[in-house]
Amino acid sequence: MSVTLQFRWTEADYASARYHWSLRHTWSVYKQFPELGYAVGALFLALFILAISLYQDHRPDWQGAYALAAGGLLLCGLPAFLGLRWRIHRDFRRTFPGRTDGTATIDDGGVTLSTGGAQKKRLWTGFTRIYESRRVIVMESGGTDFIFLPKSAMSGAQLDELKRLTTKTLDCNVKLAAR
pLDDT in tens, 28-67: 666 666 766 777 777 777 777 766 766 666 665 667 767 7
Give the distance from CA 151 to its chain's centroid.
Answer: 15
Would you say how long the chain is, in residues? 179
Look over the chain and give the mean of its residue pLDDT values, rounded to a whole number: 79
pLDDT-derived band at 20, boundaries 50, 70, 90: confident
pLDDT of residue 83: 78
Average pLDDT score over residue span 118-138: 86
Average pLDDT score over residue span 4-30: 82
Percent of the chain with pLDDT over 90: 2
Burial class (CB in 10 A: 0-12, 13-18, 19+), 83: middle
Percent of the chain with pLDDT over 70: 80
Decide if pLDDT at 154 tops 70. Answer: yes
Cα four-point dihedral sign 92, 95, 98, 102:
negative
Q: Structure pTM?
A: 0.70
Average pLDDT score over residue span 83-109: 83
Average pLDDT score over residue span 77-95: 82
Which long-range contacts does 40-45 make (Cβ < 8 Å, 24+ apart)?
40/76, 42/72, 42/75, 42/76, 43/72, 43/73, 43/76, 43/77
Decide if pLDDT at 178 tops 60. Answer: no
Q: What is the CB neighbour count within 10 angstroms for residue 106?
A: 23
C-alpha angle 9-159-154 in degrees, rounded to nearest 5: 35
pLDDT of residue 172: 62
More confident position, 169 or 152: 152
Give the span between the Cα atoms of 175 and 177, in whole angstroms.
7
More confident position, 38 or 152: 152
On whether the CB atoms of residues 164 and 6 are closer than 8 A, the answer is: no
pLDDT of residue 173: 65
Decide if pLDDT at 9 tops 70. Answer: yes
